[in-house]
Amino acid sequence: MGIFSRLKTVISSNVNDLISKAEDPEKMLNQLVIDMNNQLIESKKAVALAIADEKKLGRDTDNQLALSQEWERKAMLAVNAGKDDLAKEALLRKQEYDSAYAEYKKQWEAQKAAVEKLKTTLRELQNKIDEAQRKKNLLVARAKRAEAQEKIQSTISSVSGNTSAFEAFDRMAAKVDQLEAKADAHAELADLSAESDLDKKFKELEKSDSSADIMLLELKRKMNALPGA
């Protein structure tokens, strides 16, 4: 199983486990993204090892080619020296390195193609994780809105269903109305009482003034009736 197949299996099992236990959507999604990023780190390490192997195979391939060329140079040197037997030995060694070079080159090209494929897949995985991060933020926002709406609806339902609370408000309103009416009545009675006292005072004053006038007139008549007046 390839590294990305293992990654898919791990992520899928984590997702199913988290969803089945999910109570807090934000916590679940954050943990999921953390798990995906952790697996991405491990995948990058595996790809890095594959790249290192490809680089080593490339160096080994170049080395086999260099050795082949070196033995060819030695064969030419032997020919120039008139030593054909030595030249043949050198060519046989060159042939061995040519075969090794061909095999190394084949393996290196296969490893290089695999590495390029791994790089592409890794980039795609990174893009998917980035997309998951964006989706996570949107899902968290939606979950919070849904939770807030649920709380509001629950509160409205609770208040609407609690008739005793509304009845208590109605009774309190009636009691306040009654207290205000009693206060107005007492104020009105106080005003009437004050008005009554004031009228009484003026009537007594008028009565007092009228009696004095009568007595004064009687006194004046009496004085005019006296001799020598």
**Digit-coded pLDDT (tens) for 210-226:** 566 677 777 778 778 66
Is residue 48 pLDDT above 80, yes or no? yes
State the Rg of the chain over Cα: 57
* Confidence (pLDDT) at 225: 67
pLDDT confidence band for 138 (50 / 70 / 90):
confident
Torsion angle in degrees (nearest 10) through CA of 131, 136, 142, 143: 160
Percent of the chain residues topping a pLDDT of 90: 38
Question: Would you give the distance in Å from CA 8 to the centre of its chain?
Answer: 26
Rounded to two decimals, what is the model's pTM?
A: 0.54
Backbone angles phi, psi at 149, to 5 degrees: -65, -40
Just give the CATH number of 3-161.
1.10.287
